[in-house]
A and B are shown apart, each in its own frame.
Chain A
Amino acid sequence: MEKAPAAPNPDYDLLRPIEDPGKSFYYIVIVLLVIILYTGYVYIRQVYYGLGVTGMAQPVTWGFYIINFVFFIGISHAGTLISAILRLSKAEWRRPITRMAEVITAIVLAIGGLHPIIDLGRPDRMTHLFYNGRLQSPLLWDIVSITAYFTASTVYLYIPMIPDIAILRDRGVKPRWLYEFLSWGWQGTEQQHKVLDRAMNILMVVVIPIAISVHTIISYIFAMTVQPGWHSTIFGPYFVVGAIFSGIAAILVLMIVFRKVFHLERYLKLIHFNYLSVLLLVMSLLWFYFTFSEYLTGYYGHEPNEMRVFWYKFSGAFAPYFWTMVTCNFLLPLILLSNRKTRTIPGILIASISVIIGMWLERLIIVVPSLANPRLPYPTGIYIPSSTEWTLFLGGVSVFILGYMMFARFFPVISIWEIQEGRQESAKAVTERITSYMPDPQTPLAKG
């Protein structure tokens, strides 16, 4: 087990964004703060005038806020879930990636979790949940599962950060009191490493079912109703697959941006992008399989209300969005990532951005058409998002960028101690693991 290093180390290059963030950091922070302040003003205006300032009206009573809620929570699956699976499967290549992924979860969950409150015309009524909440409602399951996932993800992000925080403390980086407080007296002793390993092993197991439950429960908000296009038994796994899919795309975009901005080519190598992009391709195929199954079942049943929503998406007002979604989520990633020649960093970046756009469109296509074509004999509804909704969306994205930048300003985005541990121990551990499951050439086969 690696002990707290004393001598200067090349991996301390990873601390450069913390020790010397540069002027551009502050300029970007100012721009983002201005956007966030304006978003705050727009939100206060919405609270003052009511939801009339949005594009939501009968029968389309859910719009951008719920779409973005599902979208942001989906992106959150990038981090903790993928990191836990990679850690649990002892994938050594995970080491420079896991923390970047885990940070996404913590920030995006906080943003996504706020969206149902933004969707309320009277946010003060949230307090009713404390006294009169109904635990039988999927909405309340969501609150419980998102709170559990947020706390689990924050703990899961923080615990493996402790040795790196101790490095910052020992180097006297300011604010020293913060690093002293957060490092919990870490000195890298064998006993401390044991405690950390044991806690991580427990968390890895706990966090995976929580993460899966979160998006499954979000799908229940739709699937538990009898609305055409929503009442589906595969919505749970369909949402989970979509969430992991968009999550991997988000990690890839962030990795490419950080690699370029902080010159992390030594840590984020082509092989990392290759492995993750193959995973993205697999998820794209899985997403297509689920989408195909979902629509084929509806089409085969040919129930009139279901078919209204079906044709609304396939050839009606939402057809441009639907076919763009199929192109962004399936065709483009398939073309770019299945070919070795196009599976380059620019190719992966295009595929990942395309998946993020495609998955946002998928949320739009799930939420709006079912509400616009209700079971009752009403005319088809129209939903055009207002500038208020667009501004709050932009604000959410700005909070994410600012949150990530602030994290990178105070903590290393790549785990220094895990990289060092990997260098010292991984090769030996992997050799031992391979030896343990490969047949021994010295042992002769038993006869008969």
Chain B
Amino acid sequence: MNYKLIDRLQILSISLIWLLFTGIAVWILNLIKESLRLHDAPDASLGISLVAIPVFFTLSSVLTYVFIGLRKGRKKDVES
């Protein structure tokens, strides 16, 4: 089995998770910008984004923490 390829795929998957969640945050920020432009209850949009964006980043941070933590916690890494 090509372990290097699996290693790279794992790193790619973390990058994609961050890309996805950053994309969601950018989308929400864009909607806030629209509501400001149209004077269409921007306070409500801001309120929702203040809850939603940190949730997505918490999830991606937990996943990254697990992936990096598990790789660092391998026997050969601990011993060296």
Contacts and interface: CB of A to CB of B under 8 A. Distances in A.
A323 B52 CA distance: 40
A155 B59 contact: yes
Interface residues of A, number: 38
A136 B69 contact: no
List of 4 A-B pairs having minimum Cβ-Cβ separation, nearest first = A195-B69, A191-B73, A135-B45, A192-B73
A52 B49 CA distance: 37
Contact of A181 (B9, B28, B44): B9
Interface in B1-23: 1, 3, 6, 9-10, 21
B71 A136 contact: no
Contact of A155 (B1, B10, B63): B63
A53 to B, nearest CB: 32
Contacts of A147: 24
A135 B75 contact: no
Interface in A136-164: 136, 140-141, 144-145, 147-148, 151-152, 155, 159, 162
A177 interface: yes
Contacts of A135: 28, 31-32, 35, 44-45, 48-49
Contacts of A152: 55, 59
A144 B28 contact: yes
B72 A191 contact: yes
Q: Interface on chain A toward B: helix, strand, loop, or mixed SS?
A: helix
Given A148-B56, A199-B62, 10 more contacts: A134-B31, A136-B35, A159-B62, A162-B66, A181-B10, A184-B71, A187-B74, A195-B70, A206-B59, A210-B55
Contact of B69 (A140, A144, A191): A191
Interface size classification for chain B: 35 or more
Contacts of A198: 65, 69
Name the residue in A135, A151, A159, A210 with the highest tally of chain B Cβ atoms < 10 Å from its Cβ: A135
Contacts of B67: 184
Interface in B35-50: 35, 40-41, 44-45, 48-49
A130 interface: yes
Contacts of B69: 191-192, 194-195, 198-199
Contacts of B63: 155
A130 B26 CA distance: 10
A189 B66 contact: no
A2 interface: no
Interface in A181-201: 181, 184-187, 189, 191-192, 194-196, 198-199
A147 B23 CA distance: 13
